[in-house]
Chain A
Amino acid sequence: MIVKSVALLGHKDHGKSTLIGSMLMQTGAATQARIREAEMYSKRMHKPFEPAFILDSFAEERLGEMTFDTTRAEIKHNGLAFALIDVPGHEELIKNMISGASYGEIALLLVSAKQDEGVRDQTKRHLFISRMLGIDRLIVAVNKMDTVGYSQERFEDVERELSRFIFKIGFAKQNVHFVPISAYKGENLVKKSQKIKWYRGRPLIDVLYDEARKGGKKHEGALRIITQGTISGDKGELIVGRVVNGSVSVGERISVLPLGSNATVEGIVVKGKKVRTGVIGENVALALDRVIDGELRGSVIASSANKPELKDKIKLKIFVTGRFGKRTLARFNGTEIACKSVKILHDIDTTTGEIVRTKKAKPLEAVEAEVRLVRKVPVESYDVTRELGRFVLYSDSKFAGIGTLD
């Protein structure tokens, strides 16, 4: 069964883990033992049953009633499966949030409808990050509707408040849906809620289902293989890597970049079997007509007729998670490239999406920056081939941000 990955987003305590816990229970995906364990810990803490404890497994998470780190759990519905990716909502745990959300194909944002909760900076920031990661389908679950008497007015307030920002950062109208729910009470998740009669749409799981069925077909482009290195075969070394775009065939003339060496593909092995063509998503081992001298980790193989550009000066949009200090490394497909300089062009306010004329690069904000690398790398837009347009940035040995190329 194909599993669609759904990244949960939202401010802490707006109900991400509770929602996943309730969905697991209502779809029958949670085992009795996991439910019993969550029951036992709820009781021990003198609380009513807390579905979030099915996900939050660390003692510290349960005692602190706060998710620390990402995890995921699967549910199925009408022959389709979803991996629901839980992430922490707390600002200080943004590193773990990004780690989880980076695997998402669809975003499921939780916003609490409760008085004094509502749309927060972190709500918008998570949306900003999801757009940067390339997620283009969004379901906004307006949660805790039980605390506001399932009020249509409150639901529409939240929708109005958030819509402008959602469209400003680039979500298309037809890919965004708002659904009123109560994750804790289990309302409008799998079955249409009788308490929200004014809501004409489908329950959350069906909205997810429709959205998951819609997308997925990617436009396939020119051949790009990210190489991991070489392994020994019967007749010498084979270059191994993953096809991240296009396909590769025996007889094809290819270039290894940034080395610039050209060769012809003489053989392709996929999962131990000789094949004529390796396609997108496959791990291939290539036999070439000549030995390639030089670094073969994190290189790019492209068709000689259609190569990505080599650049040592790149303009990145960066979501900042730490401080940019003296020594910054751009990690690119398993290799580390030192940065000569990171020049901030301007800041982007992640809660408004506006360009700001300051150049501060504060954590939890975004910037546009001109990054100079010590050597040339083959790059292209993140939208064209993700693997060639993304960098994980470390500064003074600490995780400092993620950067994408427009």
Chain B
Amino acid sequence: MIKQDLKTLEEKSIYIIRETKLKFKNVAALWSMGKDSTTMLALTRKAFLGKIPFPVIHIDNSIDFPETYAFREYLAKKWNFKVIVGQSEIKPDLVGAACCGKNKPETLKKIMKEYGFDALIVSIRRDEHGIRAKERYMSPRDENFKWNYKDQPAELWDDYASKLDTKGHIRVHPLLDWNEVDIWSYVKKEHIPVNPLYFSRNGYRYRSLGCTHCTVPLKSNAKNIDDIIKELETTKTEERSGRSMDKEREYVMQKLRALGYM
């Protein structure tokens, strides 16, 4: 995995986050309490003199890890930002990708409508998945969250997309360029607090965090950030290999994203 120049990545993300806040009327950011969206919040604080000037949304299906909920309360208080919790319901007949593809986007749709957000910051990265690698920094979605991936807008020279229509929104991806190892290097450099589940306990750690139903830990002895960075330099496994939804039927990520999965 390639470690990139952190200053270059940081400046680009700050530019995009500022652009989002100043271009759109009503901005929100998704926060899963994971390392990526927490890094995004740290970058937001750098962009806005220590403040997070928009609400942060957690789509909660009530089955996240206890450590994850504790981390939510801890950081929201420490960094003083507003969290909107969107309660989504787990339906017993939906499992895996069907669950992720339906429950969370449906709840998010309700929140987007209720608050009238026109831009949503989502902390995906290109190196996570081939489909995410095809995203723009700013990508229009219609009211039903549909991603028209066959006809994405031109994006060059810092000229970013505007909204498609009055009801849709723009997905903003300020961390698109970052690699997993860059996130960890930055977390270390900036002392960004992270969920303790990322560190090894009894020979296992979570490399990517989802809910308790669909996330399994991987074998690892990485007990601190330096260990994690060392592990990533040599690993040949995928970051999301502990996420069951990614491994189901063909093109499941493409289908999920086209329907509005985050």
User: Which residues of A line the B interface, CB within 8 A?
Assistant: 1-3, 29, 31-34, 37, 54-55, 57-60, 68-76, 81, 95-96, 98-99, 102-103, 226, 228-229, 231, 233-234, 238, 240, 242, 269, 271-272, 281-283, 285, 297, 321, 331, 333-334, 386-387, 390, 392, 399, 402
Contacts and interface: CB of A to CB of B under 8 A. Distances in A.
B219 interface: no
A73 B11 contact: no
Interface stretch (B17-25, B87-95, B107-115): B17-25
Contact of A72 (B8, B133, B251): B133
Contact of A283 (B18, B53, B136): B18
Nearest to A2: B5
Q: Which 4 A-B pairs have the closest CB atoms?
A: A57-B130, A102-B156, A229-B22, A33-B238
A399 B160 CA distance: 12
A70 B158 CA distance: 16
Contacts of A240: 18, 22, 47
Interface of B: 2-5, 8, 10-11, 14-15, 18-19, 21-23, 45-50, 53, 126, 129-131, 133-134, 136, 149-150, 152-160, 179, 236-238, 241, 250-251, 254
Nearest to A60: B150
Given A57-B134, A102-B157, A272 B5 contact: no
B23 A283 contact: no
Nearest to A240: B18
B2 A399 contact: no
B14 A71 contact: no
B238 A283 contact: no
A386 B158 CA distance: 11
A99 B155 contact: yes
Contact of A3 (B2, B133, B238): B2
A331 B254 contact: no
B150 A331 contact: no
Nearest to A242: B15
Given A58-B134, A387-B158, A272 B45 contact: yes
Nearest to B13: A283
14 contacts: A2-B8, A34-B130, A58-B131, A71-B134, A81-B4, A98-B154, A228-B15, A231-B18, A238-B49, A272-B50, A283-B15, A283-B18, A285-B49, A392-B156
Q: Is the interface of A mostly helix, strand, loop or mixed?
A: mixed
Contacts of A399: 153-154
A402 B8 CA distance: 26
Given A29-B2, A228-B18, A283 B47 contact: yes
A282 to B, nearest CB: 6
A68 B154 contact: no
B152 A69 contact: yes
A392 B159 contact: yes
B2 A81 contact: yes
B49 A71 contact: no
Given A72-B133, A283-B18, A99 B154 contact: yes
A212 B146 CA distance: 40
A33 B241 contact: yes
Nearest to B17: A283
A287 to B, nearest CB: 11
A59 B254 contact: yes
A228 B156 contact: no
Nearest to A82: B2
Given A58-B131, A281-B11, 11 more contacts: A1-B5, A32-B237, A57-B134, A59-B251, A69-B152, A81-B2, A228-B18, A231-B49, A272-B46, A283-B15, A399-B154
Nearest to B255: A59
A95 B158 CA distance: 15
A334 B46 CA distance: 21
Contact of A392 (B53, B157, B250): B157
Contacts of A71: 126, 130, 133-134
